């Protein structure tokens, strides 16, 4: 297997995480905004 193919396979198999919130109204907060807020908590 070529190195780039190995890297691509690894990238495609990892990186899926669940981020839960109690805010169900997507008009209030959309998914990208929720992720941004989450990441800011860990800076």
Q: Please report which confidence band the pLDDT of residue 14 belongs to, taking 50, 70 and 90 as the band edges.
A: low
Using a pLDDT cut of 90, give the percent of the chain over it: 5
Strand residue runs (E) in 1-43: none
Max CA-CA distance within the chain?
46
User: Helix (H, G, I), strand (E, B), or coil: what is residue 8?
Assistant: helix
3 belongs to a structural domain: no
4 belongs to a structural domain: no
pLDDT of 16: 72
Count of domains observed in the chain: 1
Task: Determine the structural domain holding residue 36 and report its residue range.
Answer: 16-43
37 belongs to a structural domain: yes
Residue 1 has pLDDT above 60, yes or no: no
32 belongs to a structural domain: yes
Q: 17 near 32, Cβ under 8 Å? A: no
């Amino acid at each position: 297997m070529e190195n780039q193919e190995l890297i691509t396979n690894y990238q495609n198999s990892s990186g899926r995480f669940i981020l839960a919130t109690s805010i169900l109204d997507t008009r209030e907060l959309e998914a990208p905004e929720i992720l941004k807020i989450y990441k800011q908590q860990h800076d």
